[in-house]
């Protein structure tokens, strides 16, 4: 038998096993490795702190998504020996492979910043990028009476780069509903010059922050969290005081990537931008947050990549040329509070613009504009994720490559 091994059974790894399990030629078998029995719907971590979702709504057993003909191993991955086509597992076993897909994602690393994971971690310094962090923050906010809340991004890239903005919009809404908005000073602190990475969207989203009375401090490169005096301090000496800090720590690829000598400074794997083949080894492919491609680290991106990577894995096995089809396509709903949302659709070359999606003129979704329907789209995404995306079922009318239909651009 020839072995296709998938490392990681999160969004991307699960989609890949479901796409491939009945498409591989005879003589191939799939083995998947993951250390964690629980699959988390990470976009739900945004809603947990505000009591919009419950714990149960954001998690399911991983085993529920594993096809019967896939060999699933629940253990840690220690390192990849790419020279000898082998993976070392933390249970002491070795796993040989013919073809490897790395889908080990990214995680928060608060220990990268002095003082961040200090005595006040999950007391008045919180994250909402992990299940535990999001829950602790929810429990804290339930009884918080107000003060200075600082929402902070440590450095890019981060998963779902719009999530911190969404957090600010939802916080404004949440404190208003609780009747304590006047007691809460919201400040958004970012290493970027504006609200977002792409200029047009940044302008619109920056305006929304302004409208909702959120102060913005840009170009802030954090040096340390001063737990005692409750302030964050930048390298150039700017100090921002807080009563509660909601931070997005450095996002990093898994330690097994570093141990394998396959990653960059942040343990992301250098990956061909359009074929998703590892730049160093031709029988290794990379998908989702684990890559270093300059696309958003998002479940929607993993979904588009999975459709393209499936074709390329089958082409590689058949000895055919790979298709350079991944264009960086990302499609993200942005929750803006008060039951409304925005939608952005973009790729490596085309920044988000206004228009309609997925149909020109008809929509029904509005691009880069607030609407109630976009909010419902965001909430419906959870059902689509559990019932379609993870199972490898394509979403009708939405192609992995970005379509220019309905987009208001003068030149493409």
Residues that bind ligand FAD (CB under 6 A): 8-13, 33-36, 42-43, 45-46, 76-77, 103-105, 128-129, 159-160, 163, 254, 256, 288-290, 297-300, 302, 332
Shortest Cβ 83–ligand FAD spacing (Å): 19
Give the Cα separation of 390 and 33 in Å (integer): 16
Q: Which residue, 35 or 369, is less far from ligand FAD as judged by CB?
A: 35
Shortest Cβ 15–ligand FAD spacing (Å): 8
Shortest Cβ 257–ligand FAD spacing (Å): 8
Residue ranges with strand state E in 244-320 = 244-248, 251-253, 284-286
Shortest Cβ 177–ligand FAD spacing (Å): 21
Q: Which residue, 300 or 356, is less far from ligand FAD as judged by CB?
A: 300
Q: Which residue, 115 or 253, is less far from ligand FAD as judged by CB?
A: 253
Shortest Cβ 248–ligand FAD spacing (Å): 8
Q: Which residue, 170 or 240, is less far from ligand FAD as judged by CB?
A: 170
Q: Which residues of 99-117 are buried (b: 16+ CB within 10 A; e: fewer)?
A: bbbbbbbbbbbbebbebbb
Residue 358, preceding peptide bond in cis (omega within 30° of 0): yes
Q: Which residue, 39 or 407, is less far from ligand FAD as judged by CB?
A: 39
- Whose tokens are 């991944």? That residue is 326
Q: Which residue, 77 or 246, is less far from ligand FAD as judged by CB?
A: 77
Shortest Cβ 31–ligand FAD spacing (Å): 13
* Cβ count within 10 A of residue 94: 11
Give the Cα separation of 161 and 194 in Å (integer): 12
Using the 8-state DSSP alphabet, how is residue 37 labeled?
S
| Max CA distance (Å), the chain | 66
Q: Which residues contact 32 (CB under 8 A, 6 or more apart)?
A: 5, 6, 9, 13, 17, 66, 70, 71, 72, 73
Residue whose CB is nearest to ligand FAD in the complex, by number: 10
């Amino acid at each position: 038998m020839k072995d296709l091994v998938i490392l990681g059974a999160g969004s991307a790894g699960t989609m890949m096993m479901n796409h491939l399990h009945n498409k591989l030629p005879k003589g191939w078998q799939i083995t998947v490795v993951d250390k964690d029995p629980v699959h988390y719907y990470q976009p739900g971590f945004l809603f947990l702190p505000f009591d919009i979702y419950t714990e149960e709504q954001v998690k399911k057993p991983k085993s529920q998504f594993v096809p019967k003909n896939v060999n699933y191993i629940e253990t840690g991955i220690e390192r990849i020996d790419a020279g000898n086509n082998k993976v070392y597992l933390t249970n002491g076993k070795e796993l040989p492979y013919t073809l490897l897909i790395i889908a080990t994602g990214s995680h928060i690393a608060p220990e990268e910043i002095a003082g961040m994971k200090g005595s006040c971690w999950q007391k008045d310094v919180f994250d909402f990028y992990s299940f535990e962090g999001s829950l602790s923050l929810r429990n804290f906010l339930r009884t918080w009476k107000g003060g200075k809340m600082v929402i902070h991004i440590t450095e890019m890239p981060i998963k779902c780069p719009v999530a911190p903005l969404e957090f600010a919009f939802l916080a404004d809404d949440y404190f208003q509903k609780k009747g304590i908005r006047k007691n809460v000073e919201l400040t958004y602190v970012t290493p970027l010059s504006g609200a977002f990475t792409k200029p047009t969207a940044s302008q619109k989203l920056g305006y929304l922050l302004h409208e909702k009375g959120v102060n913005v401090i840009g170009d802030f490169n954090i040096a340390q969290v001063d737990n005692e005096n409750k302030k964050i301090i930048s390298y150039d000496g700017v100090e921002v005081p807080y009563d509660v800090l909601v931070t997005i720590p450095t996002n990093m690829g898994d330690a097994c990537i570093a141990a394998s000598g396959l990653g960059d400074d942040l343990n992301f794997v250098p990956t061909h931008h359009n074929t998703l083949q590892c730049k160093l080894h031709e029988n290794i492919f990379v998908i989702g947050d684990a890559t270093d491609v300059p696309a958003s680290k998002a479940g929607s991106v993993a979904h588009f990549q999975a459709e393209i990577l499936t074709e390329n894995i089958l082409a590689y096995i058949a000895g055919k040329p790979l298709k350079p089809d991944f264009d960086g396509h990302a499609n993200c709903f942005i929750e803006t509070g008060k039951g409304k949302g925005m939608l952005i659709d973009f790729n490596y070359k085309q920044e988000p613009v206004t228009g309609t999606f997925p149909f020109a003129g008809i929509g029904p979704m509005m691009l880069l504009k607030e609407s109630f329907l976009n909010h419902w789209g965001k909430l419906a995404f959870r059902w689509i994720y559990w019932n379609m995306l993870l199972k490898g079922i394509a979403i009708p009318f939405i192609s992995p490559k970005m379509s220019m239909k309905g987009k208001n651009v003068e030149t493409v």
